[in-house]
Amino acid sequence: MPAAATSDRYKWTALSNTTLGVFMAMLDSSIVIISLPAIFRGIHLNPLLPSNIGYLLWMLMGYLVVTAVLVVTFGRLGDIFGRVRSYNLGFAIFSGASVALSLTPFTGSTGAMWLIVWRIVQGVGGALLMANSTAILTDAFPVEERGLAMGISMIAATAGSFIGLVVGGLLADTNWRLVFWVNVPFGVFGTVWAYLKLRELGQRVAAKIDWWGNLTFGVGLVMVLIAITYGIQPYGGHTMGWTSPLVLFCLLGGIALLFVFGAIERRVQDPMFDLSLFRIRAFFAGNLAGLLAAIGRGGLQFMLIIWLQGIWLPLHGYSFERTPLWAGIYMLPITAGFLVAGPVSGWLSDRYGARPFATGGMVLSAATFLALMWLPANFSFPTFGLLIFANGLGSGLFAAPNTTAIMNAVPATQRGAASGMRATFMNSGMVLSIGVFFSLMIAGLASSLPHTLGTGLVAQGVPAADATRIAHLPPVGSLFAAFLGYNPIRTLLGPHVLGSLPPSHAAYLTGKTFFPQLISEPFMHGLRIVFSAATLMSAIAAAASWMRGSRYVHEADEVGAFGAPAEDEPAADAPPPDEWVPA
């Protein structure tokens, strides 16, 4: 068989296998989000109790934190020891952790810790998959076809994150363990398939492992993300924990270690990540835009879940227990928008470059955030569906061209580390979105929820002392209740207070309409603050995307220079990267 035909067949094999891996990793991150109520019920733990909020947050964020921290390290190790080898190991670890999660033998806090630990292990496997999949695709596809390949891969990633919401709702409704079992057959098949079919095409780099760089980067980023995790929890008499000594120590100490990491990388012979890559305009601007887009996309996902599960679905007759499934179904227009735009924008960016599509996508995203701000809490679904479909279009227009431009801009020997850095920005953006948007939402709720909640409870006959006590509880409890599809009023009042009320009042307080109607105005106040921030971030991402310059492809191995333009453009379109931004 001719070599060209073999190469042509292999690139589609690589695409299909890495697409499966990325889809599985992203599916898992969202399938757990929507299944958290069923998971906690399965291990007999109330996630809304103040002592259990830590378990809830680490179940939610542990996977994201681990993947954000490890993808750069694993990408660089892939450059040194082989990207396919690292990718195959990730499939095996991910599948094994899924089995351990589905076989959870404990209940209560012990069961929660078992789940958190194995979610972290699963995150290690996910980091190996995400760090090397993009580099494997870049190795396998020629420059003129990478946009299409990245478009298909990005579709798998984003579709996985939203399809997981529906699949999680369906499976958790049957048995919470199925949420983890669903990964096992795909993981086993993918592991065997990758081992048999994938081969090393990338340029291996003989280098020493940068232990100090890995240590300072990993510990520094972990500390920052831990600070974000605990910053949204109550501390002392405050609604949030940003003044907590632990949060301040982790935040400031983590930032200091990241500065130390930068100093180490400038001096070490074989750095974990070559900071001079940030001098390349397309790489720097693409990653900045990708970080801001990830923050906005993550914030949208979490806020829409709260909006649907806590307010809109109960007001339309859905029981709180059924809202996780239907929230996933009603968010499908976002996935549809992404499926429409993703491959088309990737294919077109191969011909015309990333800038017009990535920039246009972020402008469209900003416009949809702006429009969503003005919807009422009890909106008309056709309008809502159209707006989130348009947001999906914007994300689809942006994702593949931006990823392709980032990967085209770096030398072949740095593709693993560059892929890892891109994934770090994306995953860190998701964690930052939780910290930023939950903090903004909690601040918005804190200014209006206590009065609204206290007045509403007193109007239903709740004693003033009990109403005042409940109204001044940290609003994070009400926020998480809405996020998980719980009606917290029964828990907040307790059987003693409920038992002292007339049965009709008690039934109304714990029914489908009291809590959604009560929280809707305070929630919309906070939501407008959140979407204003998301609009601003998307606008800055659009500006950064436009600043990336014209189409740029790094061909250092051919021309012996730090950077070279694409074949169809003059050299003037690629300004010397070392003059653009210091790193």
Distances (CA, A) of 572 to 143, 388, 541, 569: 19, 40, 25, 8
CA distance 339 to 285: 25
Q: Over the stretch 7-49, which tens digit does the pLDDT of each residue have?
A: 578 888 888 888 888 888 778 777 887 788 788 888 988 777 7
**Share above pLDDT 70 across residues of the chain, in percent, rounded to a whole number:** 91
CA distance 169 to 37: 10
- Structure token digits, residue 100: 């351990």
CB of 448 closer than 8 Å to CB of 525? yes
For the chain, report the end-to-end CA distance as a whole number of angstroms: 47
Number of helices and strands in the chain (H, E): 22, 2
pLDDT at residue 575, rounded to an integer: 41
Mean pLDDT computed over 161-186: 81
Tell me the DSSP string of 89-133.
HHHHHHHHHHHHHHT----HHHHHHHHHHHHHHHHHHHHHHHHHH
CB of 421 closer than 8 Å to CB of 76? no
Tell me the DSSP string of 175-219.
-TTHHHHTHHHHHHHHHHHHHHH----SPP------HHHHHHHHH
Q: Over the stretch 274-318, which tens digit does the pLDDT of each residue have?
A: 788 888 888 888 899 999 998 888 778 778 888 998 889 988 988
Distances (CA, A) of 116 to 65, 66, 67, 94: 12, 11, 14, 14
CB of 407 closer than 8 Å to CB of 135? yes
CA distance 57 to 37: 13
In this predicted model, which residue has the larger pLDDT, 322 or 223? 223
Give the alpha-carbon dihedral of 469, 471, 474, 475, to 10 degrees.
160
β partners of residue 44: none
Indicate the SS3 state at residue 238. Answer: strand
Among 130, 159, 15, 19, which residue's Cα sits nearest to residue 427? 130
Most confident by average pLDDT, 45-59, 157-171, 203-217, 370-384: 370-384
pLDDT at residue 203, rounded to an integer: 62
Q: Over the stretch 323-382, which tens digit does the pLDDT of each residue have?
A: 877 888 898 898 888 888 877 887 788 788 888 889 999 999 999 999 999 999 999 999
Question: Burial, 429: exposed, middle or buried (Cβ in 10 Å; 0-12, 13-18, 19+)?
Answer: buried
Domain boundaries along the sequence of the chain = 3-209+270-445+521-554+563-579, 210-269
Report the CATH number of the 3-209+270-445+521-554+563-579 domain.
Answer: 1.20.1250.20
Burial of 481-513, coded b for 16+ CB within 10 Å and e otherwise, reads bbbbbbbbbeebbeeebbeebeeebbeebbebe
Most confident by average pLDDT, 139-143, 258-262, 390-394, 495-499: 390-394
Residue 470 has pLDDT above 70, yes or no: yes
Q: Over the stretch 557-577, which tens digit does the pLDDT of each residue have?
A: 333 333 334 333 433 334 444
pLDDT at residue 6, rounded to an integer: 42
CA distance 446 to 434: 17
How many CA within 13 A on the CB side of residue 425? 19
pLDDT at residue 573, rounded to an integer: 39
In this predicted model, which residue has the larger pLDDT, 151 or 133? 133
Among 103, 100, 81, which residue's Cα sits nearest to residue 92? 100
Among 500, 505, 481, which residue's Cα sits nearest to residue 491? 481
Find the range with the poorest average confidence among 249-253, 325-329, 412-416.
Answer: 412-416
- Structure token digits, residue 579: 């003059």
- Structure token digits, residue 466: 């009990």
Q: Which residue has the tokens 């109403």?
A: 467
CA distance 529 to 536: 11
- What is the average pLDDT score of the chain? 81
Among 135, 108, 128, 138, which residue's Cα sits nearest to residue 67? 128
Mean pLDDT computed over 63-90: 81
**Share above pLDDT 90 across residues of the chain, in percent, rounded to a whole number:** 14
pLDDT at residue 475, rounded to an integer: 79
Residue 217 confidence class, pLDDT cut points 50, 70, 90: confident
Q: Which residues contact 109 (CB under 8 A, 6 or more apart)?
A: 45, 52, 55
| Predicted TM-score of the model (pTM) | 0.79
